Amino acid sequence: MSGKNGSVKLVAGNSNPALARDIADWLKMPLTKASVRRFADNEIFVEIQENVRGSDVFIIQSTSFPANDHLMELLIITDALRRASARRITAVIPYFGYARQDRKVGSRSPISAKLVANLITHAGVDRVMTLDLHAGQIQGFFDIPTDNLYASPVMVRDIKERFDLSKAMVVSPDVGGVVRARGLAKRLNTPLAIIDKRRERAGESEVMNVIGEVEGYTCILLDDIVDSGGTLVNAAEALLANGATDVYAYITHGVLSGGACARITGSKLKELVITDSIQPTEAVRGAHNIRTLSIASLIAEAIGRTASEESVSSLFD
Query: Annotated binding site for D-ribose 5-phosphate: which residue ranges?
Result: 199, 223, 227-231
* Cα separation, 141 vs 194, whole angstroms: 29
Closest CA to 183 of 222, 218, 149, 148: 222
Q: Any idea what the Cα angle at residue 205 is, between residues 203 and 209, rounded to 5°? A: 165
Residue 124 main-chain phi, psi, to 5 deg: 120, 10
Catalytic residue among 160, 197, 268, 270: 197
Binding-site residues for Mg(2+) = 134, 174
Compute the distance between CA of residue 83 and CA of residue 104 in angstroms, rounded to an integer.
36
Q: What are phi and psi of 196, to 5 degrees?
A: -95, 115
**197 assigned to active site:** yes
179, 262, 265: which is closest to 222 by C-alpha? 179
Residue 34's CB is within 10 A of a number of other CB atoms, namely: 21
User: Whole-angstrom Cα distance, residue 258 to residue 242?
Assistant: 29
* Closest by CA position to 261, among listed 293, 228, 294: 228
Q: CA-to-CA distance for 118 and 116, rounded, in angstroms?
A: 5
What is the C-alpha separation between 23 and 275, in angstroms, rounded?
Answer: 14
- Looking at the DSSP assignment, which residues form a beta bridge with residue 169? 219
Residue stretches of the annotated binding site = 41-43, 100-101, 134, 174, 199, 223, 227-231
* Catalytic center residues: 197
